[in-house]
Each structure stands twice: as structure tokens, then as C-alpha cells.
Structure 1
Amino acid sequence: MLTILTPTYNRVQTLPALYESLCAQTRRDFEWLVIDDGSTDDTAAWLQSCRAQTSAFAVRSLSQANGGKHVALNTGVRAARGDWIFIVDSDDYLTPDAVECMMDAVAQASQAPRLVPGVCFRRADPQGRLMGLPCEDVPSPFVGAPSQVGRMVRGDLAYAFRRDVMADLPFPVIPGERFVPELYIWNQIGDRGPVWFYLDRAIYVCEYLDDGYTRNFHAHLRRNPGGFLLFYAAQIGREPRRLDRLKAGIRSVQCLVYCAIKAAADRRRAPS
């Protein structure tokens, strides 16, 4: 079975679109697991109503104190019942054939002679345009690593990973921070074996909100310098081009500066 894992925080206004897209799936042998990361809106009541009216697939939810998306993903991986986990954000939704496409890819990957820890498709905007660059003349599936394909595509991707591999590689939790870049863990998953990428097919629809991560990158960096430092320090050794290694190094220094500023502010706020 596939677990569709959705971390959410105060997204009761966008969750119905995702729910409706799940109800419209051509294949329904999946569970929808929602991790409510301390929402203060009506998310809990709305999820209860979904559980009461849905029989085509299992709807499960867990609540936790607000700790950030990475902590919610850790919680979801531990609670998931599926062998594979398809991560779908609470402000996005799926095409009607998304689960069918993902499960077909998972079935093929599971028969491979070498461990395939993840499969991946493209994302599109609500108008159906691919996020990032087209990848013409690329075989499908393309076998590679998340960082490598990220450089090719220059856009966000839709991943599903083996639950056992994700359980072995939880996101680090840094006190006082609420974000760690997902690619930090996705790259480590790719170290376990090649990920299969279907770069000619979009099954995931997203629209960047004004309060989302993508449009607030620099604010996230200042608030979560330790998590970003983990990522950029690791990227220095992963980037094949000297210029990209230099950029990762500069970001790492920037994160160190923000860590020092944050530590100084914490000391000033601490009771004497």
C-alpha cells in the first residue's frame, strides 16, 4: 500500500482541494495520513469530517505540537502503514492518475535487481505548465540522484520513497529551529541507491503561496540557520562544478553568521 503523507499547519482553506483530488483518483489502494503540526485553525474538525464521510480510502490524522514540516515528516514516517510514502503538501493537489502512475512506478522499482529507494515525477502549475525546465530526449525513467536531477530540472519534484529507508534517515531536529531543507535527506536517500525519475510526466499540481517556503527563502534562512548549514555544508562535497561548490561554501558561511547572531540573541533573552 501507498501512504500519501501530508504535513499541515493552518491550511484548512487549501486541504479541501487536495482531498477532492484524492477522491478523484483512478486507483484508491492508498491511505492519506495527515500530520497536523499544531494548527490553530479548524483543521482538526475538518479532518474529522473527512474521516466520517470517506470510505474509498483510509483517512488518518495525528496531531503534534508545532515543530516544523521536517518534524511532521518524521512523525508521519513512523506512523505510516504503506511500504512507500508519497509526500504531498497541504497546499497542493494531484492529477486524477497520480496514484496509478506512482504505484506503477513503485511496482517496477520493486522488481529491480538493485535497491531503488525512491521514484519521482514532475510538478506542474494549475495551468498544466511544468515546474522548471523541460527535459527532452531524457530516458524515462532517468536513473540519478536528487541533487543531480535538481540541477537538470531547476524546479521542485514529486517524490515517493521507501518507508524503511526514510525511517533509517530521519530529519535532524535542531532546538529553536523549525526547518531543515528536504534535499538534505533526499540526497542521503539517493546515496542508498539510484532514484528513478519520470521527467516527462507531471502528476502533482502546486501553486506557491505568499506565505510559503519558496517565496520566503531568506526569512527561513535567518530563522533556521542550523538546518540550512547542514544542507549547504553537505552540498560542498556533492556539487560537481567549482562555482556551485563555491556558492554552497558562501551559503555555509552565511549560515554560520546567522547561527552566531541567533545564539547572541538567545543569550540576551535568557533570564540572568
Structure 2
Amino acid sequence: MCLLTVFTPAYNRADLLLVAYKALQRQTSKDFRWLIIDDGSTDNTGELVAEWIRQEKEFSISYYYKENGGLHTAYNAAIERLETELAVCVDSDDYLPDDAVERITSFWKKNGSDEFAGIAGLDYDTNGNKIGDPFPDQKSINLVDLAIGKYHIHTGDIKLVVRSDLYQSVAPMGSFEGEKFFNPNYLHMEISKNYDFLVLNECLCVVNYQPQGMSSNMFRQYYDSPQSYAELRKQHLSFKGIGLKYKFKEYVHYVSSCCLAKKGCGLKNKNWPLFICACPFGVLLSIVIAIKNK
């Protein structure tokens, strides 16, 4: 059995998937399988992939179609089907450098163990530029510490290669009716409460942002999926060792999400003075978000 699953959630991206496929064909190591999760596409994605499955001889391609539910439900479907030791998500508008699989598998065979959650590598843009700063020069890194600013770097996008058993221990992500924007990074943060990721300061993925991509319009996502974002903020507020500035920002966003969802703020163990100070700003943010989405 191969070591790595490359999984790709796709929704009406038949025009982009060919780039990802060609990059996989160029891999210097074929120690991987490709799992495509079709999140309810209405274009010719299924027919295109069926032809690739019929023709491809060097690596395995699997295809699973599901009703449209958003990126987090595609993650759930992929994680349920993982059979390899490691997994990495490559979005339908991104692709792997030609030696990415070889870098990942050789690095893990040399350094990996049950002590670590996987590998944290770098994303580059299509012009060959790093997105954000490199990681500190150390063996491993914790994503929670990274999120709360312990390392004092701007990371931008990173590429995570994750142990499949740990993915499966924290999945599936929950869903809220009518909401499709629940950031799958929730899973990575849950894993990071107990595990660090090995640092690999090399390019593992080339990122090509699309205007309709998940990262392109945060205000729209806040407006359309307020309960999902409230849950994400609750997770962030549960992190240990967070400072007042970070906690205040998360309280503001949490209150904003609750207002947009028209739900009460049922948060346990609040820092009441800080929470009360954050409430007016959270209400104001919810008004701004609502106005921008009219």
C-alpha cells in the first residue's frame, strides 16, 4: 500500500482539475493515491475523471460523488475513505510541485513517528513566491502556538500533511443547516491540541487562488455561515495560553457571529469584563457584515 493520499475536493472545477492531474503525472515518486471528492458538481467533472481512471496506469485514482454541502463536508467524505498513513488536501485550483510526493514521503520515513501529527510545509504562488514567512528553524511546530502569535511570524498559507488516523479521530466536522462555510482548519486545530507538526521549510504546493474560492470573500462567509464561525471562535477561545488581545478579537467575532445567527452567546468560562467590553464591537461588526452583504 502507498504511503500518501492526495485528496481533492471539487465543485464545478472540471476546467481546473486537469492542471492538478498533470502535476500528479509528473511526480518523481508515485507512492500515492489520488482521491477526488466531487461536492455535487453539475459540470462534466465525473465524465472527465472517469476517463482518467480508465487511462491512468501509474497511480490509483478514486472518485466519490456527493450532494453539495461545502468544503468541510468534502473533507469529511475524504477522511472517511482514507486508507494510507498520511493524507494531504490539494484544492482543485492548486497543484503539487513535481517532487512534492517524494519530499513528503522521504521526509516522513526519516523523521516521522507517532509523536507527531504530520508535516507542515510551505505554499508558493504561481510566480514562485513563498506565501508568508518560513517556519522557525526548529524540528516541529504547534499550530495553536502559531495561531496565537507565539512565533511572531506571518505564515500566510501553509500545507499540512496529516496522519490519517488523527484526521479520523477528530472527524467528522459538524454541520449547521443551510451553512456551507465551516473552515476545515478546525480539524487541524483539534489535532494540534495534542500534537506538533514536523517542520519542512520547502514548497509542497503551488496555490492559484480563484475569485470564487473559499478564501476570497470572508465577509460573505461570515454572513452565510454564522453558526459555523461561532463554533470556530469557540474553539479558538478554548486554546490554552492565549493573551488578552487574541481573546478580545475572538470575543468580538464570536458575538458578531451570534448576532448574525440570531442565537444567544452560550459561551462557558467567559472572561466577563473582557467579554462585556467586546460585545459592542461584536454587534457593530455584525451590522457592518450585514450591510456589506445586502
Of 137, 162, 175, the residue aligned with 1:139 is 137
Is the contact between residue 122 and residue 134 of structure 2 (CA under 8 Å) also seen in structure 1? Answer: no
Q: TM-score scaled to structure 1, two decimals?
A: 0.89
Under a length normalisation based on structure 2, what TM-score does the superposition of the two structures give? 0.82
Read off the aligned partner of 2:165 and give its amino acid letter: D
**Alignment match, 1:264:** none
TM-aligned CA deviation for residue 109 of structure 1? 4.1
CA gap 1:108/1:140 in 2 versus in 1, 3 angstroms: farther
SS in 2 for 1:192: coil
Partner of 1:127: 127
The one-letter amino acid paired with 1:105 is: F
CA contact 1:36–1:61 (8 Å) conserved in 2: yes
Shift of 1:108: 3.1
User: Match of 2:98?
Assistant: 96
Sequence identity percentage: 25
In structure 2, C-alpha distance between the alignment counterparts of 1:165 and 1:134, rounded to whole Å: 25
Q: Please tell me whether the aligned partners of residues 184 and 230 of structure 1 are also in contact (alpha carbons under 8 angstroms).
A: no
Is contact 2:144-2:193 (8 Å) kept?
no
| Aligned residue number for residue 12 of structure 1 | 14
- Residue 274 of structure 2 is matched in structure 1 by none
Q: What letter is aligned with 1:227?
A: S
C-alpha offsets along residues 6-56 of structure 1, whole Å, 9 cap, x if unaligned?
A: 111111111111001000001001100000000001100110111111111
Counterparts of residues 155-234 of structure 1 (less than 5 Å): 155-170=156-171, 171-198=173-200, 200-234=201-235
Show structure 2 runs of 5+ residues with no match: 264-294
In 1, the alpha carbon distance for the partners of 2:89 and 2:252 equals 30
**Which 4+ runs in 1 deviate beyond 4 A?**
none
Per-residue CA deviations over 1:125-178 (Å, capped at 9, x if unaligned) read 00110011244xx3253x122133354333111111111111111111222211
2:261 is aligned to 259
Distance 2:142 2:228 in 1: 21
Aligned counterpart, 2:85: 83
Are the counterparts in 1 of residues 143 and 196 from structure 2 also a CA contact under 8 Å?
A: no
Contact kept in structure 2, 1:183 and 1:231, CA below 8 Å = no
Report the residue type matching 1:253 in the other structure.
V
Could you tell me whether the CA contact under 8 Å between 2:75 and 2:184 is conserved in 1? Answer: no
1:241-252 to 2 correspondences below 5 Å: 241-252=243-254
Q: Is the 8 A contact 1:109 1:116 kept in 2?
A: no
Q: Which moved more, 1:239-248 or 1:222-231?
A: 239-248
Query: What is the alpha-carbon distance in structure 1 between the residues aligned to residue 197 and residue 134 of structure 2?
Result: 19
Number of aligned residue pairs: give it. Answer: 255
Rounded Cα–Cα distance in structure 2 between residues aligned with 1:2 and 1:124 = 21
**Aligned residue for 1:270?**
none
